[in-house]
Amino acid sequence: MKTLEIQSGVRLKPLIRCYESNRVRSEAGFGSDGGDLIHEGSCWSCVVDETPIPGEPDGVELIVEIQLVEGRVESAGVALVFELDDWSAEDYVLMPAAVYAGNRFAMSPLAYPPLWRERADFSPTMPTTITDLPRLSQNGGVSRIELTTGDMATPCVGVRHARNGRGRLFLTTQGSIWGNHGITLEESSDRQRARILISAPAVRENFYRPGDGGLRPSTDKGVTWKPGDGVTIRVRLYEFPALTTLDLFERFATVRKAMAPPHEVKPQLPWSAAWAIQERKYNAENWDESLGYYRMAPDFHTTFAVCDEPLCFLWQCGWVGGGMVTHPLLGEGGEVSRQRAWRNLEMLFERTQAGSGFFYGLGDGVRFYSDGFDKPHPWNMHMIRKSADVLLFAIKQFDLISRQGKTVPVLWETSARRVADAFVTMWKTYGQFGQFVDVETGGMCVGGSTSAAAAPGALALAAQYFKEKRYQEVAQAAAKAYYERDVKAGVTTGGPGEILSAPDSESAYSLFESFVLLHEVTAEAEWLVMARDMLRQLASWVVSYDYVFPPDSILGRAGVRTTGAVWANVQNKHAAPAICTASGDALLKYWRASGDALAVDLLGDIVRGLPQYLSRADRRLGERMKPGWMCERVNLSDWEGPEGVGGNLFGSCWAEVSLMLTRAEVPGLYVQPDAGVYFVFDQIEAELVGKGEGWLELRLGNPTAFDAEVRVLCETPDMIRRPLGLNALHGCRVIALRAGQQAVYRFDQQL
């Protein structure tokens, strides 16, 4: 069996594989230049086309066509095997949104929702720990990761070789007529060699199913081939210097869309129309008049009974929207919404703060608890990320209240100071913020993660608002520590509260935002460098192409385009409509300061795709989803079973808050007339029709069936040199476009 040398240390071997159930029964390889192959009485042909990639001298594209010429074969498939000789167990392995650092972490096979519940297990220096996920072995024995392209934000395997400082990326497409491709990485027993397999169809011996406790035997199998059946597999390989893990992410960010067809989301629902639906829904379904707060969901999603008492966790602060949804309701809502948001904040600041200064994580409006899922956590365990989110959004809302000409209640400011003080005390005591703390005493329960990544940014804003130097000092020290430990290692962890400390997108965005806020507060360039590095890792969590759903699935029938969906974490293997829980406005702030095009590319993909996932009276997304509801599931993976791909839209949740925040914090149209630059983020169309010195004209169109009110941020050179700051859209220009209307608008220094 010959192999084809593709790059130094990388050989290609096309295979025919015959299966017995989900296991390889036999396999045979083609010659180095393809040709014909007789295997088990059947005749196969293979053509390998290798071409350079224009403008990318470090890359090569392979197009491999394999066809059955004669015979009929039951339960078979094909695979491209890439053999790597320069391997080491120290190599960093990336499979975007699925594998970071090879997932070579400590493992605890806990049932969902996994959590350290025994005091004996607590540790302030908890190592990164995952559940029974696909991973490379930390020890001896079999070391194999089996996935499909549906398990990743980008179908890609990236490797940074520790021995020679080289990086490699293997990118492919979603699949073939046989469905998603399989992508397997397996190490030799001595960890000196490895194989990457791209197969059609995907046949895994084991797959991840959280409801069944982790890795379990799959039901995958080969397919029946008849004469004339064939498959074409496209792969792009890049090899480049990668002295650090940051270099691997740098190159990945530039080619993440290289295999994706052109992407376009047809405007269907302007943000203002979405806002009207959501505001109505929140006031009709989420508001509790007797207790004065917005419940997290009308269908009790993310709410669970407290032991045997007839209570529910109807409130959670931070993370999934509590104390965050009040921000857009205060800024964008009508009088009723503003009054109710105010009452909700009264509850937050005046009734939910523990003696430590941190906030109780959840409650029912009467009683509040440290935190919990199926029942309250033991030992007063509180996920500190929630209190970091509360502090961040407290300062945002204090600024907004002042802009509206009102006075922030002293009790609220005192509450915000107390939580900021609690973070300072935590840092000075432990040198970290940890993941779970004792909400009553402020003592550390479980440490070692990036869970409180929002805290440095929140403390920087608190330092600015309260003019408190020590908040700024801790913010900077903590941000630098996160950068040295987590960003440089290529792993941020522990943002959600039910993944142990697995890698996740939420901590990635929060840390990026903290770096951006520190730059806005201090004007120091080092924070832009850290933000740049973090941005490239954040990009690995954002879906880079439009996944082809089963045509009879909910999202398939709705014609959803997945570019811009944000993967949750390596354990909960779904993408989501948005960042949990944020608008992504830090991406625009960073772009203004840096000019880094990746930031606006990601922001545009995320926010333009968001309205697709809002269920409407004229476009219901499945039977369960009422108008105004959004579900967190954008299932590309079969982690919830094959029937869950493109489905399992179970109810209302935090994604609604992200869309509401987007309306409040991201301009629908951004314009720099002097530079001739404009970006469309809302669901409208724009065409440049004229420009001159200091001005430009755009033809704006609203092709949707809904009237639109588009918020415009138009900036002069003097404005661009200043930080965008908080609530930058307050009082900005609004352009009204009727359904189907087109009109030309001039933008200049007169604004």
Is there a contact between 58 and 14 (Cβ–Cβ < 8 Å)? no
- Report the alpha-carbon distance of residue 728 to residue 718 in Å, rounded: 15
Instruction: Flag whether pLDDT at 1 surpasses 50.
Output: no
Kindly report, residue by residue over 26-53, the tens digit of the pLDDT: 999 997 667 899 999 999 999 999 999 9
Local confidence band at 133 (pLDDT 50, 70, 90 cut-offs): very high
At residue 528, the pLDDT reads 98
541 in Cβ contact with 608 (< 8 Å):
no
pLDDT at 156 exceeding the cut of 90: yes
Crossing angle for the helix pair 597-609 and 526-539, to the nearest 10 degrees: 50
Sequence-ordered list of residues with C-beta below 8 angstroms from that of 130, at least 6 positions apart, any chain: 103, 105, 106, 107, 108, 499, 500, 501, 502, 570, 571
State pLDDT tens for residues 231-282. Answer: 999 999 999 999 999 999 999 999 999 999 888 888 999 999 999 999 999 9
Reference 462, options 447, 476, 445, 480; nearest CA is 476
- Mean pLDDT value of segment 377-388: 97
pLDDT tens digits, 202-212: 999 999 988 77
Reply yes or no on whether the pLDDT at 473 is more than 70: yes
State the burial class of residue 422 (Cβ atoms within 10 Å of its Cβ: 0-12, 13-18, 19+). buried
What dotted CATH number matches 271-665?
A: 1.50.10.10
CA separation (Å) from 75 to 15, 69, 219, 524, 548? Answer: 14, 16, 13, 60, 24
Mean pLDDT value across residues 520-525 = 98
Distances from the Cα of 366 to the Cαs of 290, 304, 485, 524, in angstroms?
10, 15, 40, 45
Taking residues 98-123, what's their average pLDDT?
Answer: 95
Asked whether residue 103 carries a pLDDT value surpassing 90, the answer given is: yes
Q: Supply the pLDDT for residue 751.
A: 57
Is residue 443 exposed (0-12), middle (13-18) or buried (19+ Cβ within 10 Å)? middle
At 355, the amino acid letter reads G
Q: Are strands 10-20 and 677-680 parallel, antiparallel or unpaired?
A: unpaired
- Please compute the mean of the pLDDT values over residues 377-384 and round it to a whole number: 96
603 pLDDT more than 60: yes
Q: Whole-model pTM?
A: 0.97
pLDDT at res. 14: 96
| pLDDT over 70 (residue 2) | no
Q: How confident is the model at residue 311 (pLDDT cuts 50, 70, 90)?
A: very low
Q: Which two tokens stand for residue 537?
A: 């890792």
Instruction: Output the pLDDT for position 213.
Output: 75
Structure-block tokens of residue 704: 């949707």
Which pLDDT belongs to residue 376?
86
684-708 average pLDDT score: 97
pLDDT bin (cut points 50, 70, 90) of residue 307 is very low
Q: What is the pLDDT of residue 310?
A: 44
% of the chain with per-residue pLDDT over 70: 97
Query: Which residue has 């703060």 as its token pair?
Result: 353
State the pLDDT at residue 305: 47
Dump pLDDT digits (tens) for 407-448: 999 999 999 999 999 999 999 999 999 999 999 999 999 999
Q: Is the pLDDT of residue 309 over 70?
A: no
Question: How far from the centroid of its chain's Cα atoms is residue 270's Cα?
Answer: 23
Q: Where are the domains of the chain?
A: 4-255, 271-665, 669-748
- Using the predicted structure, report yes or no on whether residue 303 has a pLDDT greater than 70: no
pLDDT above 60 (res 126): yes
Residue 312 has pLDDT above 60, yes or no: no
Mean per-residue pLDDT, 334-338: 98
Question: What mean pLDDT do residues 735-741 have?
Answer: 98
pLDDT at 300 over 60: no
> Which band of pLDDT confidence, cut at 50, 70 and 90, is reported for residue 361?
very high
Contacts 24+ apart (CB under 8 A), 718-724: 720/592, 720/672, 723/519, 723/520, 723/521, 723/523, 723/589, 723/593, 724/520, 724/588, 724/589, 724/592
The DSSP-derived string for 282-333 is IIIIIEETTTTEE-S-TT-TT--B-TTSS-B--EEBBTTTBTTTHHHHHHHS
Q: Span 371-377, mean pLDDT? A: 84
